[in-house]
A and B are shown apart, each in its own frame.
Chain A
Amino acid sequence: MEATTVLHKTDPDAHITVEDLTMAYGDFVIQRDLNFTIPRGNIFIIMGGSGCGKSTLLRHMIGLKAPASGKVLFDGISYWESAPAEQQRIKRGFGISFQSGAMWSSLTLAENVALPLGEYTDLAAADIAEVVALKLSLVGLSGFEEFYPSEISGGMQKRAALARAIALDPEILFFDEPSAGLDPISSRRLDDLILELRDSLGTTIVVVTHELASIFAIGDNAVFLDAETRTMIATGNPKTLRDESPDPGVRRFLNRGEI
């Protein structure tokens, strides 16, 4: 409950809060003293150069890796201090799209999307089939139900992975490098879809990316991780950061080094 009081002091709207987070592999610290808040319905970008710990931060937020110190709070509840049952409940609200799709290779696309639906809802098989068809059509893969992941292209796998991530209408969607490996049009469509999911369903969205076009197109807020100082050096709206950040490194990054 202490966590809740801390949270209410800062922001009643906060959906996800990261508090004094330090991430480390053994003794090797990746990032320290991370503090930021993601309001409900926000599209939040985690950015930074290669190897600065963006994906590691995501792994801490989705419950795959425990922090060396600090907290990750969802609606004021500290994930890593919760009982396993509570952690399970929090995770039920996540939809995650992994960097290379991570589609289960032994299942068809339809079975991939249907698996969480079958496991976590009481829907009848016919209803599940309808939801699966809808989710695949949302990502533009209608008609590919019976394909195995190895039979479709990398970009299609990523879109299929998104269909699986949104299968359960999650409260929070996490994307790891969503547009890496996509052509500009697919990438743009994916950005539109992310915006649409937020606008229509009020989903909170966390995106790890360094694709500048995407960052400016969809990002409400962002955190910039720096590999040198091993901590965050800026937060705020990406466009504002691009033009007004006091840190030259951040401005250089957001202007593709042309500064």
Chain B
Amino acid sequence: MPGQLHLQFPSPDNLCIVLAGSWLLADSRPAPDDIALQLQSRSDLHRICFDGSAVTQWDSGLLTFLARVYQLADEHKIDIDPGGLPDGARRMMKLATAVPPKEDTGKHSEHPPLLERIGLRSLSMWRAAPEMLHFLGEVTLSFGRLFRGTAQFRRSDLMLVIEDVGPHALPIVSLISFLVGLIVAYMGAVQLAQFGAQIYIANLVSLGMTREMGALMTGIIMAGRTGAAYAAQLGTMQVNEEIDAFRTMGFNPIDFLVLPRMLALVLMMPLLVLYAGIVGITAGMFVAVTVFDISTFEYYQQTVRSMEWAHIWVGVIKGTVYGVLIAFAGCLRGMQCGRSAQAVGEATTSAVVTGILFIVIAASLLTILFEELGI
């Protein structure tokens, strides 16, 4: 039998709710609308009692119903006598009402208006700037300690990070550089072939890969690969209170965690950029030789003739700067991470976005700078 509900009035100021049948969450149960009506219309009611002797089975279905009745009674300042309820239900309701609802929790679920949101967002971005500067300062101090030889970190940690950042990144850097070299060669060749100057593919590719694309593509790969990994590692350590543990035991977490990571990327980026350039030039040669009938030797000669040490230096310097920025963004977001899985995800996303943003800004500035300097 599904749940049933009758209202009785043993005396004018007394409402007795008679419950019967099965009050399971899965079944259909009567709603307390009738009771609400009665409470509204009869102002002389002072007490609600129950008769639950005919209830056959119950679970949270009955309890949610009772919670509503309790709430109604509270609104109308009417006493509740739970004596007639099934034993367990009576005790569960006592438990449920033991701690009054926490009000004034400072939680507002409604959305603030648009302008307010824009203002709040701007303020929080404004406040983030000093935090970033503070971190920059700490990292600078840490590098100072490194050069004086007083920075505390484990050399084996540095080696592990270097291995992960350098050799382990080779496959993906090879693939992307090769494809980028291929694209540059093809795009240039189609234009150059119009006036029979295919041989200048070599100039285009070698210049493009060493000066610009090698560093840029490696930077973007490393932002996605290593910057994200740094943020996730440090963020998870933040969640597990590992970073607090370092602090309390007198280790500087910047020295111990951030320094080796920055150092590894700064050391490995130039090498990766050089490697990316070589792979890109090889890809260009592959296109020139197989599609545009240039001999390997001609291509090699042309490449050597077009290359200058300055191009290589420009690429390596750019790559190193990108490395610093990627490591900085990754470590910054990791150290700023909140204390939940959600926060680790946000830190990782933010590390990659910040890293790529830094790279693109730096790329523009450096290109203009080198142009002005005439290098």
Known: A121-B25, A143-B105, A146-B107. A134 touches B100 (CB 8 A): no
Max count, chain A CB within 10 A of own CB: residue among B59, B60, B97, B109: B60
B156 within 8 A of A: no
Instruction: Report which of A122, A133, A140, A196 forms a contact with B67, defined as CB distance below 8 A.
Output: A133
Report how far A105 CA is from B235 CA in the complex, Å.
Answer: 14
A130/B64 in contact, CB under 8 A: yes
Which of B3-11, B144-152, B180-188, B334-342 faces chain A?
B334-342
* Interface 9-residue window, one of A79-87, A147-155, A247-255: A147-155
Question: How many residues of chain B have a CB within 8 Å of chain A?
Answer: 31
A130-187 with Cβ < 8 A to chain B:
130-131, 133-135, 137-138, 140-144, 146-150, 169
Query: How far is B89's CA from A1's CA once the two chains are assembled, in angstroms?
Result: 37
Given the complex, which residues of A lie within 8 Å of B92, measured CB to CB? 138, 196, 200-201
Q: Judging by beta carbons under 8 Å apart, are A105 and B64 in contact?
A: no
Q: How many A-B residue pairs have CB under 8 A?
A: 81
Chain A 186-224 residues near chain B, CB threshold 8 A: 192-193, 196, 199-201
Residue contact B67 to A143, C-beta cutoff 8 Å? no
A200 to B63, CA, bound (A): 11
B125 at the interface (CB under 8 A from A): no
Q: By the criterion CB–CB under 8 Å, are B95 and A147 in contact?
A: no
> A123 within 8 Å of B by Cβ?
yes
Say which residue of A106, A138, A146 sits within 8 Å of B95 (CB atoms).
Answer: A138
Q: Are B95 and A196 in contact (CB under 8 A)?
A: yes
List, in ascending order, chain A residues with CB within 8 A of B89's CB: 200
* Interface check A127, CB cutoff 8 A: yes
Interface contact A105-B101, CB-CB below 8 Å: no
Residue of B nearest to A167 (CB): B60
Q: Does the CB pair B99–A140 fall under 8 Å?
A: yes
Q: Which of B76-94 touch A at CB < 8 Å?
A: 87-89, 91-92
How many Å lie between the Cα of A144 and that of B100 in the bound state? 11
Of residues 99 through 129 on chain A, the ones whose CB sits less than 8 Å from some CB of chain B are: 105-106, 121-123, 127
- Residue numbers in B under 8 Å from A135 (CB-CB): 60
Specify which chain B residues have a CB less than 8 angstroms from the CB of A147 in the assembled complex. Answer: 105, 107
Report whether A146 and B25 are in contact in the complex, using a CB–CB cutoff of 8 Å: no
Which of these, A130, A142, A200, A201, contacts B100 with CB under 8 Å?
A142
B102 at interface by CB-CB < 8 Å: yes
User: With A142-B101, A147-B107, A150-B338 as given contacts, are A134 and B67 in contact (CB-CB < 8 Å)?
Assistant: yes
Chain A contacts of B59 at CB under 8 A?
169, 201
Q: Is the CB of B99 within 8 A of A134?
A: no
- Interface residues in B95-116 (C-beta closer than 8 Å to A): 95-103, 105, 107, 109
The complex places the Cα of A147 from the Cα of B102 at a distance, in Å, of 12
Q: Is B311 an interface residue (CB 8 A)?
A: no
In the bound complex, do residue A169 and residue B25 qualify as a contact, i.e. CB atoms below 8 Å apart? Answer: yes
Tell me whether B26 is interfacial, beta carbon within 8 Å.
yes
Q: Which residues of B contact A148 (CB under 8 A)?
A: 340, 342
Q: With a CB–CB cut-off of 8 A, which chain A residues contact B64? A: 127, 130-131, 133-134
Q: Are B60 and A169 in contact (CB under 8 A)?
A: yes
- For B95, list chain A residues within 8 Å (CB): 138, 192-193, 196
A130 x B101 contact (CB < 8 A):
no
Contact present for A130 and B68 (CB under 8 Å): yes
- Does the CB pair A106–B105 fall under 8 Å? no
User: A105 and B67: CB pair below 8 A?
Assistant: no
A123 is contacted by which of B25, B67, B96 (Cβ under 8 Å)? B25
B99 to chain A, nearest CB (A): 4
Is B25 in contact with A105, judged by CB distance below 8 angstroms?
no
| Chain B residues within an 8 Å CB radius of A134 | 60, 63-64, 67, 96
**Closest B residue by C-beta to A122:** B26
Residues of B with C-beta under 8 A to A199: 88, 91
Bound Cα distance from A255 to B40, whole angstroms:
59
B343:A137 contact, CB within 8 angstroms = no
Whose C-beta in chain A lies nearest to the C-beta of B103?
A: A143
- How many Å lie between the Cα of A38 and that of B221 in the bound state? 56
- Rounded to whole angstroms, the CA-CA distance of A160 and B87 in the bound complex is 25
Interface string of B18-62 (1 = CB under 8 A from A): 000000011000000000000000000000000000000001100
A121-B26, A147-B105 known; A105+B340 contact, CB < 8 A: yes
A196 to B88, CA, bound (A): 8
Task: Kindly list chain B residues whose C-beta atoms are within 8 Å of the C-beta of A193.
Answer: 95
In the bound assembly, the distance between CA atoms of A135 and B338 in angstroms comes to 28
Chain A CB count within 10 A is highest, among B98, B103, B339, for: B98
Docked pose: A87 CA to B102 CA in angstroms:
39
Contact A150-B342, Cβ < 8 Å, known A121-B26, A144-B105 = yes
Identify the closest chain A residue to B59 (Cβ): A169
Report how far A48 CA is from B98 CA in the complex, Å.
33
CB distance from B226 to the nearest CB of A (A): 25
B interface residues with partner A (beta carbon < 8 Å): 25-26, 59-60, 63-64, 67-68, 87-89, 91-92, 95-103, 105, 107, 109, 338-343
Q: A131-B64, A169-B25 are in contact. List 4 more A-B contacts (CB 8 A).
A: A130-B68, A134-B64, A138-B96, A146-B109
A sample of 8 inter-chain contacts (CB < 8 A) reads A105-B341, A130-B67, A138-B95, A141-B99, A146-B105, A149-B340, A200-B87, A201-B92
The 8 A-B pairs with the shortest beta carbon distances in the complex, nearest first, are: A200-B88, A143-B102, A105-B340, A140-B99, A142-B101, A150-B340, A143-B101, A130-B64
